[in-house]
Amino acid sequence: MAEAEQIVLSSGAIGSPQIMLLSGVGPADHLKELGLPVVHDLPGVGQNLRDHPMIYVTFKTKEGHPMDGFAPRVQMGLRWTAEGSDLRNDLMIFMQSYATERVDRGGERMEPLGIRMLGVLDLAMSAGELKLTSTDPVEQPSLDYRYLRDPFDRRRMRELVRTCVSLGEHETFSGIVEDRIEPTDEELASDDALDAFCARDATTGQHISGTCKMGPGSDNMAVVDQHGRVHGLENLRIADASIMPNCIRANTNVTTMMIGERIADFMRSGG
């Protein structure tokens, strides 16, 4: 490892591009808008924002059904490949045994509502963008996720929701479920109505990735090479979830640790 070599290892796909942009490395036009000096024009920094879009299907439980908030609250229920998809295992459902109203809708965290299924879309086609809102490093950057812009994503999300609804109507749940809270029958009545529900309620899976993606120098949107080295700069690497070209079909923590360890090995060996 060269003595002067530096590594960006921060809060992943938000922190790394934010640090790069504040340091003058990124899309020149965006840097100039904020009055930042352009150290290196690198268009891909902050682009290709990937995530696992998630949707909730919630059921009111019957009177007297025990709500244990201390049991394993979320567990994997089902993984499968969407109809007509060539992306294996691109849909997931988690079962949530103790559901509360969402805090972003004014709910209380520990006020029981019922049970919930969490539908997760893997390998979404739609990609978003991270941009600075200020030159102050403590200011939150803008995250434009652009969920479900791609028709394939919308089709798969509809399949997710309808599968959750169908499972909730199975006789196995008859002694537990009193009624479905969301989506409503009206929101399930047509593809357009369901698309509107998904566009309104889709939320982050907390697996943001891809904002400094890995790729060859011939790719104008690639930020690092296969060794994590930043294109066009010497002695600078990135080693976190931001360099994933796409969001993996799993939680990102173990893969991110592997990225850090692998790039550390490259640095030790001079690769």
Is 227 annotated in the active site?
A: no
Catalytic residue among 30, 207, 227, 231: 207
Chain length of the chain: 271
List residues with catalytic annotation.
Answer: 207
